[in-house]
Structures are given as structure tokens and as C-alpha cells.
Amino acid sequence: IQVEEKLYQNRYRVDEGRPHIKIKDREICSLCSHKICTVLCPAGCYRKGTDSAVSLITDGCLECGTCQVICLEHKNILWEYPRGGYGILYKFG
């Protein structure tokens, strides 16, 4: 079974209007040379735009914390866990 197929079995409860991760300053993302978040996020929450911008959609976030760690250079991410009852619902077994 492929990783994508495994991930597809999880469910995500969206906390409408209250994303648990935010980009502080989009201008900093535009100037960031590597945009490594667009490569390393296992859920593909970060996407490169055509205009060197970075977009973030937190639906489907696995709460792994990778983006928080890899953006230490710019410290441009506000990260917290979703409120209780929201976020990723892992399927085990």
C-alpha cells in the first residue's frame, strides 16, 4: 500500500475559520530562497504559487510539526495544535 493510500484513510475535522497554523508575513515567504516547507510537508499543505508566493491550507495537516521546525531561519510560522475535537483523526489498524 502506498503512503498516499494510507494517508487517505485518515479523517480531518476542519475548524472553520480557525486554522491552527498561520504564516506570519507572506512577504517573507516570497523572499525565501528555498521554500522548503513546500517540499517537506508530508501532507502537502504548503504550495508554491506562480508569483513566488507560498500558500497554506491546513486542512489535512498531520500535526507532525515539521514546518514549525524547518522555518526556524525565518520564524515565520505561528503553530499550535487544533482545538479539542478538531484536526487529524488517525485511523489505526
The stretch near ligand SF4 (CB under 6 A) out of 1-9, 27-35, 47-55, 64-72 is 64-72
Position of cell 523572499? 31
29, 54, 67, 71: which one binds ligand SF4 (CB under 6 A): 67
Query: How does strand 11-13 pair with strand 87-89?
Result: antiparallel
Give the nearest distance from C-beta 53 to ligand SF4 in angstroms. 17
Decide whether 25 or 64 has the Cβ nearer to ligand SF4.
64
Question: Are the C-beta atoms of residues 54 and 23 closer than 8 Å to each other?
Answer: yes
Backbone angles phi and psi of 8, in degrees to 5: -65, -20
Position 61 contacts ligand SF4 (CB under 6 A) = yes
> 3-class SS at 7?
helix
Q: Which residues bind ligand SF4 (CB under 6 A)?
A: 21, 41-43, 45, 61-67
